[in-house]
Amino acid sequence: MTVAEGIDRVRERIDAARSRYGHADDVTLELAAKTRTPETCREAARALAERGLPVVLGHNRVQEALSTAPAIREVPAASIHLIGPLQKNKINHALNCVDLVETVASRELVEELDIRASRNCMKLQVFLQVNTSGEASKHGCSPEDVPSLVEAVELSPSLRLEGFMTVGLRSDDEAAVRRSYMRLRELRDDAAERLAVAESDLQLSMGMSQDLEWAIAEGATVVRVGTAIFGPRPAIG
């Protein structure tokens, strides 16, 4: 299967889920590109552009984002998201190659990003990452911390809150997985109400290869898909 065929198949899954669950708005397919080469990333970005789809690629590591960014940016209007945790000492590198950080989960990171973005005279887009499954291994703030983090981002002149992100519960139990996605939607709806903006102004980045239908059922506006498009990841090490 080529990357382009993978994109077509996943788009079919997205559209089938949208009609099944009555999801009127389109869902952005973000390609989770960890471990893929610059050439593969560029091929994937071109395939999205050829189909008239938004060109959004997500990287887990700043180093991978840096090394693939020149190839990805050959495609007009490409957008690169960081979907893995951001260490403080990598912030400047991240700001050089990333358009949006999906993994903001602490007040400290909000403050540090605001300072560095302001030095670069840029407005950085961010998602707040929430641990909605309660699994200890997962990155993200706790649901209780969301209101204060939303406020912290709102008070940061160089950051713009674009939405929320979660990595769902890893399980075959549909009800349990959907509960974690529903939780993110509720947090988004609360935030929209407090900020007096439309819910649709705040994205919901949730759902991966194995469960994107369940995420769409709960209102995902962005799904992050890797293996269903690129095939299995090479073993690390």
Ligand X SMILES: *Cc1c(COP(=O)(O)O)cnc(C)c1O
Which residues lie near ligand X (CB under 6 A)? 32, 34, 60, 83, 167, 208-210, 224-228
| Whole-angstrom distance, CA of residue 212 vs CA of residue 214 | 5
Token pair in block for residue 174: 């549909």
Q: How far apart are CA 62 and CA 81, in angstroms?
A: 10
Residue placing its CB nearer to ligand X in the complex, 192 or 208: 208
Q: Based on CB atoms, which residue is closest to ligand X, 102 or 114? A: 102
Residues 22-40 as b/e (b if ≥16 CB within 10 A, e otherwise) read: ebeeebbbbbbbbbbebeb
Place of tokens 């189909």: 51
- Nearest of 150, 213, 145, 202 to residue 177 by alpha carbon: 213
Q: Shortest gap between Cβ of 169 and ligand X (angstroms)?
A: 13
Report, in Å, the least distance between residue 35 CB and ligand X. 9
- Closest distance between ligand X and the C-beta of residue 205, in Å? 8
**Shortest approach of ligand X to residue 215 CB, angstroms?**
11
Could you tell me if 97 and 66 are in contact, meaning their C-beta atoms sit under 8 angstroms apart?
yes
Report in angstroms how near the CB of residue 118 gets to ligand X at its nearest.
27
Q: Please say which residue, 123 or 233, places its beta carbon nearer to ligand X.
A: 233
- Rounded Cα distance, 57 and 201, in Å: 20
Q: Which is nearer to ligand X, 35 or 158 (CB)?
A: 35
Q: Cα 81 to the chain's mean position, in Å? A: 7
| Shortest reach from residue 58's CB to ligand X, in Å | 7
* CB closer to ligand X out of 156 and 205: 205
Q: What is the DSSP letter of 220?
A: -
CB of 181 within 8 A of CB of 188?
no
Q: Looking at beta carbons, which residue is closest to ligand X?
A: 226
For tokens 């008239």, the residue is 52
Of 134 and 157, CB closest to ligand X: 134
Cα end-to-end distance, the chain, whole Å: 25
